[in-house]
Amino acid sequence: MKHVKLGESCGLKVSSLSLGTWHLPRLSEKDEAGAHKIDYEEFKKVLKRAYEEGLTFIDTANRYHGGVSPVPLTHVGNAEKLLGTAIRELKLDREEIVIATKVGVRMSPGPNGEGLSRKHIMWQISESLKRLQIDYVDIYYAHAFDPETPKLETLTTFNDVVRRGFVRYIGMSNIPVHHLVEYIMLAIANKLEPVAVLQYRYNLFDRGVENDIIPVAKRFGVGFTAYSPLGEGLLTGKYVDFESKRWVVPPGSRAEYRDLSHMFTERNLQRLLRLKELAGEQGLTLPQLAIAWLINIGEKVWKIPIVPIIGITRLQHLEEALMAVDANLSHDALKAIDEVTRGPPLS
C-alpha cells in the first residue's frame, strides 16, 4: 500500500485508500427499528485484512450506525463503538492507524443536539473518544455546515480540542465552498489550527467538486478525501444486468434499504455499459476502475493526492479494491473515461 502526505499544509501521511464505516458488513436480520444487525465477525476480518495490507486510514462519524440510513437517534454511535471494540480485540497498534471521525449532525433531540457550537463539539469529542476507546482522534471533521454558529466559535473550539490533545488535525466535510474558504482564511488570520483536510462526495458520476472544492484544496494546500467513490455501489455495476441491459436490485444490496433509484437513469445505464468496456481494456473490474480513476486523476490531473474512502460490506470487496491502488491509467485511458463521464476536457 502506498502512503501519501495528505496535503501541503500538514505533515500527516495516510494510506492511499481509506476504509469507511457508514455502512458495515451486515446480516439480513433486522432489529425492531428496521436496522440491519451488523456482521461484526466479517467487519473484523475486513479491518484485520486492511491493516495487514497497510490500509490504515479509517473513516467514521459520531452518527454512523452501519446498517441503517438515515440513522434513528436510538442507533447513533454504533459504528464508532464497533470500530473501537474491533481495534482493541484485534490488538491493532493505535499509532499505526489514522482514525478520522466527525461532528455536527444530530445526536440528540435537544436544541444543542447538533451543530458546530462549542457546547456540542466539546460534548461530542468526549463521547467519540469513549465510543472509540482511544485517547485522541487523528482527524476531526465538521460533518456539515452550521449556519447558526459563528465560524470563529467553531474554529476556536477546534483549536482547543487540538491543544487539549483530543484531536491532531481539523477537517471539513460538505461545507458550501464560500463558507469553506471563510473558515480556511479565518483560521489563518487568527493563527488557529488550520483546516488540514476536506471530505466531499467525488466519483466518476459526481464530479461537481472539480469546479470549486478541488481548486480550493489546491490553492490552500489542504488534503482531499473522496467519499462514495463507488457511487454507493452504482459504479460497481452491481445494479445492472449487463445481458439484458436493465437495472436490477440484487438481494442484500444497499438499494434494498436506502433509496438509490434517482441514480437508475438511462444516461447512467449507457455510461456504465461503456465504462465496463473501458475497464475491461485496462484489465480492471468496474469498481477497480472507479477507484483507480480517482487516484490517477489526483496524481496526473489535479496534482494533489485524492484519497478514496471506500465502503466495504464483505471481505471480497476489499480484496478487489486493494488490487486497484497501483493501477496506472494512461492519459488516453483518462481521456476516454472523461468522454463517458463528461467532466471538464483534458488537455
Ligand X SMILES: NC(=O)c1ccc[n+]([C@@H]2O[C@H](COP(=O)([O-])OP(=O)(O)OC[C@H]3O[C@@H](n4cnc5c(N)ncnc54)[C@H](OP(=O)(O)O)[C@@H]3O)[C@@H](O)[C@H]2O)c1
Report yes or no: 273 and 222 within 8 Å, Cβ to Cβ: no
**Active-site entry in 64, 140, 183, 200:** 64
Residues 192-211, one symbol each (x = binds ligand X by CB under 6 A, - = not), give -------x------------
Query: What nine digits make up the cell of 226?
Result: 473522496
Our CB check for ligand X shows the closer of 208 and 335 to be 208
Say how many C-beta atoms besides its own lie within 10 A of residue 74's C-beta: 11
Q: Identify whether 227 is a catalytic site residue.
A: no
CB of 19 to ligand X, least distance (A): 8
Within 13 Å, how many C-alpha atoms sit on residue 190's CB side? 19
Query: What nine digits make up the cell of 277?
Result: 468496456
* Choices 36-44, 152-160, 267-275, 305-313; region in contact with ligand X by CB under 6 A: 305-313
Residue 268 binds ligand X, judged by CB under 6 A: no
Selected from 217, 230, 289, 333, the binder of ligand X by CB under 6 A is: 230
CB of 254 to ligand X, least distance (A): 4
Q: Which residues contact 162 (CB under 8 A, 6 or more apart)?
A: 168, 169, 170, 193
Binding-site size for ligand X (CB under 6 A) equals: 26
d(CA 134, CA 94): 8
CB of 173 to ligand X, least distance (A): 4
Which amino acid is present at 1? M
Q: Which residue has the cell 488570520?
A: 189
CB of 73 to ligand X, least distance (A): 18
Residue 238 binds ligand X, judged by CB under 6 A: yes
Window 12 to 71, contacts with ligand X (CB under 6 A): 20-23, 59
Q: Which residues contact 111 (CB under 8 A, 6 or more apart)?
A: none
Report yes or no: 229 and 290 within 8 Å, Cβ to Cβ: yes
Residue 170 binds ligand X, judged by CB under 6 A: no
Q: What is the DSSP string of 63-127?
A: T--BS-SSPPGGGTTHHHHHHHHHHHHTT--GGG-EEEEEE-S--SSSTTSSSS-HHHHHHHHHH
Selected from 287, 295, 307, 333, the binder of ligand X by CB under 6 A is: 287
Q: Which residue has the cell 473522496?
A: 226
Selected from 142, 309, 324, 333, the binder of ligand X by CB under 6 A is: 309
Our CB check for ligand X shows the closer of 29 and 332 to be 29
Our CB check for ligand X shows the closer of 22 and 166 to be 22
Residues forming the site for ligand X (CB under 6 A): 20-23, 59, 173-174, 199, 227-233, 236, 238, 253-254, 287, 309-311, 313, 317, 320
Catalytic residues: 64
